[in-house]
Amino acid sequence: MTTELTIAKAPEGLEGPGFFATKLDEVIGLARSNSIWPLPFATSCCGIEFMATMGSNYDLARFGSERMSFSPRQADLLIVAGTIAKKMGPVLRQVYLQMAEPRWVLSVGACASTGGIFDTYSVLQGIDKVIPVDVYVPGCPPRPEQILDGFMRIQELVRNEPVRRRNTSEYKALMQQYGIE
């Protein structure tokens, strides 16, 4: 049996005999993007699709993310999959606030992204009403391939994010929109 391994692409840099020089941003981005620790906040059907994404067929572990974190303090990617009732909004927000920076958010499926088919008084019409979202995955439910695609877009963001982005005035302004200091 042969096993094909894909080695993560080296960052851009200067190479010569016995040395390789690159930017700190590139190295940190490479390491972070291939070791994301997700916290699944799954409430309904989309959560089942996420379970399939974690299973051996789709295997999120291939991306360095087999370690689910059910503690916000040891997670850097919040994956919200399912219908979020308005009553759960503050809980979701609290989980987000307990995560250390840098943190990212993946909204999986129509319900998490917009309320989906539940245009009712009790359902939050999109989690971006209470927390900032980095990537939205459409579908009701999205297939595991779509969730993987969303995850890979998060990886791209993580890989290319400058180390100091979280200290910028733009980022602080974004947080202030959500009442987060």
Site residues (vs ligand SF4, CB under 6 A): 44-46, 82-83, 109-111, 116-117, 140-141
| Pick 72 or 109: Cβ nearer ligand SF4 | 109
What gap in Å lies between CA 32 and CA 35, rounded to an integer? Answer: 5
| Pick 95 or 158: Cβ nearer ligand SF4 | 95
Nearest-approach distance from CB 69 to ligand SF4, in angstroms: 22
Nearest-approach distance from CB 150 to ligand SF4, in angstroms: 13
Which residues contact residue 63 at a Cβ distance below 8 angstroms, ignoring those fewer than 6 apart?
A: 34, 36, 151, 152, 155
Nearest-approach distance from CB 58 to ligand SF4, in angstroms: 17
Compute CA distances 1 → 4, 55, 149, 152, whole Å.
10, 22, 28, 28
| Pick 80 or 158: Cβ nearer ligand SF4 | 80
| Pick 78 or 111: Cβ nearer ligand SF4 | 111
Q: 103 and 77 in contact (C-beta within 8 Å)?
A: yes
Nearest-approach distance from CB 157 to ligand SF4, in angstroms: 23
Cβ-based burial of 157 (10 A; exposed 0-12, middle 13-18, buried ≥19): middle
